[in-house]
Amino acid sequence: MIDVLFAGYSYTHKDGLIYDTSNGRGGYDCYQLIYTHTPAMFWVEGELRKYPAKSVVFFTPGHRKYYTSLPDEPYTNDWIRFKSDEKFIADFPKKNVPFSPADAEFVHDLIKLITWESESSEGEEKRKALQNLFELLISKLSTEAEDIETTPYRHEFTELRREIMHHPEKDWTIDIMASKINLSRTRFQTVYKNTFGNTCMEEVINARIRLAQERLIYTGHTISEIAELCGYNSTEHFCRQFRKSVGITPGQYRRNALKNE
């Protein structure tokens, strides 16, 4: 059973916030999940510590919940206060200590869905929907809480990978990508491959070829234009990489797609 007491997302306290269950604030006897959009201070091991934006903390019932905005700064967060007797909730691996999930936007979107569902549906339909959403959210956060102990810079690398996938046409080089995370070229390449299984340049090439396939099918651009739009300075280089990845030339790929329409 999961009973959502209060939930909300993207709420900004323009004058900052101090939340402390020791000073009469509600929420001491329930679970509370917080996702911060801004940097914040959390009470951890007897002191207030600063944590970056896009942090998550999973507070347990009976634990002091004490967090504040930075001095003289606004504070924005998502939150869920709830009660539950589910084992997967009780077994969450990182309790009462903030951490930075790799895929923060996915976490934010799930909290939004939980908020909407808790306010819109009723009865058994509501119970099943919330159960499914919580299982997905807690599973995602549990995996990331465990991964963060073994994979450094996971959040930064995930954000970079998302940018590569969305904008493969940019002038991506190893030096440019490494500088975004402030790592040496060698260290960056090692961590990237260990995190995602592919090298950073393999990711760039794969993303560019996927983009080229879409444009070959859905646009009337010439092959030279598509090469340029996908980040290639040489049409010949583009054609060689396309054939190596797909097995046929860009022209053959376009003709085959038109035949199958």
Shared domain for 34 and 126, answered yes or no, is yes
- Do 85 and 161 lie in one domain? The reply is no
Across the range 68-79, mean pLDDT stands at 95
Q: Are residues 133 and 210 in the same domain?
A: no
Q: Are residues 161 and 110 in the same domain?
A: no
Residues 174 and 249 in one domain: yes
With helix as H, strand as E and coil as C, how does the chain read? CEEEEEEEEEEEECCCCEEEHHHCCCCCCCEEEEEECCCEEEEECCEEEEECCCCEEEECCCCCCEEEECCCCCEEEEEEEEEECCHHHHCCCCCCCCECCCCHHHHHHHHHHHHHHHHHCCHHHHHHHHHHHHHHHHHHHHHHHHHHHHCCCHHHHHHHHHHHHHCCCCCCCHHHHHHHHCCCHHHHHHHHHHHHCCCHHHHHHHHHHHHHHHHHHHCCCCHHHHHHHCCCCCHHHHHHHHHHHHCCCHHHHHHHHHHCC
229, 169 contact by CB (below 8 A): yes
Domain holding 177, by residue range, is: 154-259
pLDDT-wise least confident of 26-40, 154-168, 240-254? 154-168
Q: Are both 40 and 113 inside the same structural domain?
A: yes
251: domain CATH number?
Answer: 1.10.10.60
Indicate the range of 4-18, 59-73, 88-102 predicted with least confidence: 88-102
What the block records as the tokens of 32 is 């509370």
- Does 205 lie in the same domain as 174? yes
User: Is the model's pLDDT at 253 over the cut of 60?
Assistant: yes
Same domain, 136 and 14: yes
pLDDT digits (tens, 9 = 90+) for 167-198: 999 999 999 999 988 888 998 998 898 888 89
What's the pLDDT tens digit per position in 91-108? 999 999 998 887 889 999
Residues 142 and 158 in one domain: no
The residue-averaged pLDDT of 71-77 equals: 95
- Given 92, 118, 150, the domain boundary residue is 150
Q: Which CATH number covers residue 102?
A: 2.60.120.280
pLDDT of residue 23: 83
Number of folded domains in the chain? 2
Return the half-sphere exposure (C-beta side, CA atoms, 13 A cut-off) of residue 121: 16
pLDDT tens, residue by residue, 204-251:
999 999 999 999 999 999 999 999 999 999 999 999 999 999 999 999
pLDDT tens by residue, 117-161: 998 867 888 889 999 999 999 999 988 777 665 555 777 888 899
Of 150, 170, 186, which one is at a domain's C-terminal end? 150
Average pLDDT of the chain, as a whole number: 91
